[in-house]
Amino acid sequence: MITISPIGLAVCLLVVAVLVGIGITMMRRRHSASLKDRFGSEYDRAVHSTGNTVKAETMLHEREKRVAQFDIRPLTTEARGRFVERWRAVQSRFVDSPADAVSHADVLLGEVMEARGYPVVDFEQRSADLSVDHGHVVENYRTAHTIAERHARGEAGTEDLRQAMIHYRALFDDLVNEPHGEADVIANRDGRVHDLRKAPATKETLRD
């Protein structure tokens, strides 16, 4: 029969404890890496807002559980086509009325989200819900919304509104799975085209 001295037993227990600790640490790191991959910059935002990684990850888990209860579904081919055409119409509005285009873009995105199965809630909750499956573009949504609010206070110009449209487009593409392409280019009434990704589109610039 093998006997182990008290010192030997203590060493064995210490080794086991160290191995268990290493295993737990590795699991936590893999878990954190998985959340970072899923939520993107939203993970860092959560850590910053809570001031604690554990609290942030708990909050993100709560979001996952909430969204898991939704009936999130892809758009039908018909619905996708309708939304894409409406987005192109919204972009065309930018030429003559940038503010109007941004306002319509925000409304259209709300309708797309609802069609995908997201509930109608306030902006912050909607952003949180979107972050679960669209974490890499939810910051675009927040930025566009902030610009729209600034414009309502008279603090945003045409260039800011153009940026808002680009940010809204990022989320729109992600929700409808429509690749960037011709819809980024809008035409004025004379048939000349303008790319929203470049200089801002206004009546003055399009007349030149």
Eight-class DSSP state of 182: G
Chosen domain end from 28, 49, 68:
68
- DSSP state string for 99-155: HHHHHHHHHHHHHHHHHHT-----HHHHHHHHHHHHTTTHHHHHHHHHHHHHHHTT-
116 and 171 in one domain? yes
The length of the chain in residues reads: 208
Separation of alpha carbons 106 and 128, rounded Å:
16
Tokens 């910059």, residue? 41
pTM: 0.70
Range of the domain at 57: 6-68
User: Does residue 1 belong to any structural domain of this protein?
Assistant: no
Whether residue 190 has pLDDT greater than 70: no
Separation of alpha carbons 86 and 178, rounded Å:
13
168 and 88 in one domain? yes
Chosen domain end from 68, 89, 109:
68
Count structural domains, the chain.
2
pLDDT in tens, 11-53: 777 777 776 666 655 666 565 677 787 787 888 888 888 888 8
